[in-house]
Amino acid sequence: MDYESTAKKILQRVGGKENVISLVHCMTRLRFVLKDESIVDDEAVKKTKGVMGIMKKAGQYQIIIGNDVGNVFAELMKLGNFSNEAPKKTETKQEKKNMFSMLMDTISGIMAPVIPAIIGAAMIKVLLTLLPMIGILSTEGYTYNLLSVMGDGAFFFMPVLIAISASKKFGTNMYYAASIALIMLHPNFISLMNGAQEAGETVKFLKFIPVTYASYSYSVIPIILAVWSLKYVEKLVDKITPVVTKNFLKPMLVVLIEAPIALIVLGPLGAICGNVLSDVVYAIHDKLGFIAIGLVAGVYPFVVMAGMHHAFTPIKLGMIATTGFENFICIGELCSNMAQGAAALAVSIKSKNKDFKQIAGSSAFSALFAGITEPALYGVTVRLKRPMLGACIGGAVGGLFGGFFQLKCFGIATPAIVTIVQYVEEGRPSSLLIAALTILLTVAVTFIVTMFLGFEDVVDEDEEDLDMMITEAMAEPLPEEMQITIASPLEGKRIPLYEVNDATFAQEILGKGCAIVPETGVIYAPFDGKVDMMFETGHAAGLVSEDGVELLIHMGIDTVNLEGKYFHPKKKSGDTVKKGEVLIEFERQAILDAGYDITTPVIVTNSDQFAKIDTIETEHVSAMDELIYIR
């Protein structure tokens, strides 16, 4: 890479040095604080050779470079003597002001990892609709009942799944969190509350404290509030229990204190909040009727871009649990997904760029048949702009049509062509035709509008990009006996990258690998090699193995803002290391208390040089266990 040329292009495309307030860098990205982000040409920045992507977060304009970030940063500093003071996390006033946005972001962040389990259960429910319809399965047999249990399990015990996810978000003990959820769903508790309600009585704790009736199966917000409070209960109990009694007294006190708080205060409060949120959403539907569905379908891509779409899942679940169907958000989602797919399909047909035609075509298939719209949204419609307008128009038209003919959704599987049966209403055969026509109209209008509006076709910045793609495509797997194994650099819970709450890692922009939620405060060298770069703040390290594997270990998300506090590097850049040697020690609990996510991505940053990279499936790993396999 020509670092000087890259730096000049980046500076020009972010508005010149007069638009830069400060510039710092972490292990993988340049972090600009700009006077005016609106004047930045995002697309031009993305096309710059050496730039992997951009992010706008916490008041920073972040440009993802990868391993060469230090060299590009050095060239940028030559072009302008920029301040290198990173803004403190506590100074982000906008985040403090917008409480609703913070709430939606929290709910969305907690819901996202749970979605695969929900989709799996929802698809079984789709089968329960489809198979009896075509005469393969009887609704009276044991098989149907067993499949019904499989399809309903994840929904009925939703608070347990949410508790596990929320414990990661809030940095609490996962097993305490799950225990509280199980208490809220215990059959005896449900029976007790139902019996008291039917008898017109009030259940009282310790004879005087009333326990408000609420149903927690299928619910989301009550357990989120409970797990949030668990964080503070754990800290309190940890302070008041003597060291010699912690093994048995602390667990007992945590549950004994938190369970009543959850059942008496936060559970009912969460149920009320959930009902209010649902009432507000559906009041809009009641007021505007089918027009509201068209509006939702038209603007839904921007909801996805804001990362707030998962926040609607609790509302949809509550509506389906109460009425048996949902006829607002799910219809808008279906039309939005189909519109993204149709817009990408139009681009695939019209584009003259062979590589981009393939990208758009695969994105269209993904959106139309699987309901996965991110490739079409970020890779095609947002990138080209005018196809996004076509998708919004087509989605709105389809939403108006489906809403006018009262289309309903009876499941929560990802809206797509293959899940159309979840829109079939029992006793209303025409509902299948209405669903099909809704999809057809959405696709047709979006396709025609996108073709009519046209777009500025993608042009590669230079031929070097194409050469790189060809080189990557020609990568050959290593022979079986030459498989490279990377050990786990720390102990904790292994999670796939897509669960990491940072798009740069989750979308594998920097490379393939996995992430670990650490249970200890030590990071070890996972192989023999050298420290290519130990960042001065100690929150991340870049290593190179003797086999040529370039590995990034990034402790936590946005922990660069701690400016080295709580991190204690034991090696420096250029040091040779042996497998098992200590690289970094960090104060795990202190970082959590400071409000940071400690999830630690472990990334093979030169993934393009290898044909296949796999990770173990084991949930828990110890330091030096096998973690990544490279061929």
Catalytically annotated residues: 26
Walk across the sheet containing 492-495 and list its strands: 576-577, 529-534, 540-545, 550-554, 600-604, 512-518, 492-495, 620-621
- The helix or strand, by DSSP H or E, that contains position 516, with its residue range, turns out to be strand 512-518
Beta-carbon contacts of 397 under 8 Å, excluding residues fewer than 6 positions away, are: 294, 441, 442, 445
Task: Report the distance separating Cα 25 and Cα 44, nearest Å.
Answer: 20
For residues 465-504, b (16+ Cβ closer than 10 Å) or e, as one string? eeeeeeeeeeeeeeeeeeebebbbbbbbbbbebebbbbbb
CA 602 to chain CA mean position, Å:
17
Whether the Cβ atoms of residue 493 and residue 619 lie closer than 8 Å to each other: yes
Q: Which residues pair with 101 in a beta bridge?
A: none
CA-CA-CA-CA dihedral for 607, 500, 507, 381, to nearest 10:
-170
* Number of C-beta neighbours around residue 156 at 10 A: 15
Structure tokens belonging to residue 418: 């293959």
DSSP β-ladder status, 529-534 and 492-495? unpaired
What is 340-373 written as a DSSP string? HHHHHHHHHHH---HHHHHHHHHHHHIIIII---
What's CA 269's distance to the chain center, in Å?
27
Are the CB atoms for 536 and 507 separated by under 8 Å?
A: no
Which amino acid type is present at position 298?
G
Instruction: Give one word for 135, left, alpha or beta, with left for phi > 0 and alpha for psi -120 to 50.
Output: left
